[in-house]
Amino acid sequence: MKQKVVGAFSFISVIGFGVWLYFEPGFEPAIGLVAGIGGLIHTFWPNSETNDFDDSYLREADAIEARWKAEQKLRPASVDDARWILSELLSLLHRVRTLQSTEKYYTEIDSLIYQVKEVQNSEIYLDGGESYGRFWFSGSLAFKELGVLLKKI
């Protein structure tokens, strides 16, 4: 019984100290230091899941593709926003490429990265909508290839 009382009191004391530290003026650097230490621990703590491909990458790819399709349906569609969406796709591809479980797919991932960069850097001309249509078609094709690749992995 005595241990439970001491444990409860210790817990309440720690919580109270944390609340006091948070609201006391002048302790902002201490709060930042504590938050920074927490971030470092989270960053460097060994995590076995960081090198494995899981469904979160599929969900993220689906979300990015949904934004792409929504932007494509808007009238007028913003090519700048579409390029931003493609940059998110590139970020996802780079993260997938760093996983140990995707080593045998490096050439396919690199090819897809090149294809997305090519679409992202393509120019839109006043040519009756030909380059505009090619931009959206090539981007949609890249998303289809991404879906096939991620299902293989």
pLDDT along the chain (153 residues), means of 10: 64 67 61 55 52 81 94 88 95 90 89 96 91 94 93 85
Which amino acid, residue 114?
Answer: Y
Q: Give the range of the structural domain holding residue 124, as residue numbers without chain letter.
A: 50-152
What's the token pair of residue 146?
């991404």
User: How many structural domains comprise the chain?
Assistant: 2
Taking residue 113's Cβ as centre, other Cβ atoms within 10 Å add up to: 17
Angle between helices 79-97 and 106-120 (to 10 degrees): 160
pLDDT computed for residue 48 by the predictor? 46
pLDDT computed for residue 141 by the predictor? 96
Nearest to 120 by CA among 148, 151, 79, 153: 79
Residue 35 sits in the same domain as residue 103: no
pLDDT computed for residue 99 by the predictor? 87
The position carrying tokens 């380059």 is 131
Residue 40 sits in the same domain as residue 68: no
pLDDT computed for residue 123 by the predictor? 93
pLDDT computed for residue 8 by the predictor? 64
Residue 71 sits in the same domain as residue 104: yes
Residue 144 sits in the same domain as residue 80: yes
Alpha helices in 1-153 (DSSP H): 2-23, 28-44, 55-73, 79-97, 106-120, 130-152
Rg over CA atoms, the chain: 24
pLDDT computed for residue 15 by the predictor? 72
Residue 80 sits in the same domain as residue 10: no
pLDDT computed for residue 27 by the predictor? 57
pLDDT computed for residue 30 by the predictor? 58
Residue 79 sits in the same domain as residue 143: yes
Residue 40 sits in the same domain as residue 55: no
Cα–Cα distance, 29 to 31 (Å, whole number): 5
**pTM for the model:** 0.64
Residue 127 sits in the same domain as residue 73: yes
pLDDT computed for residue 36 by the predictor? 57
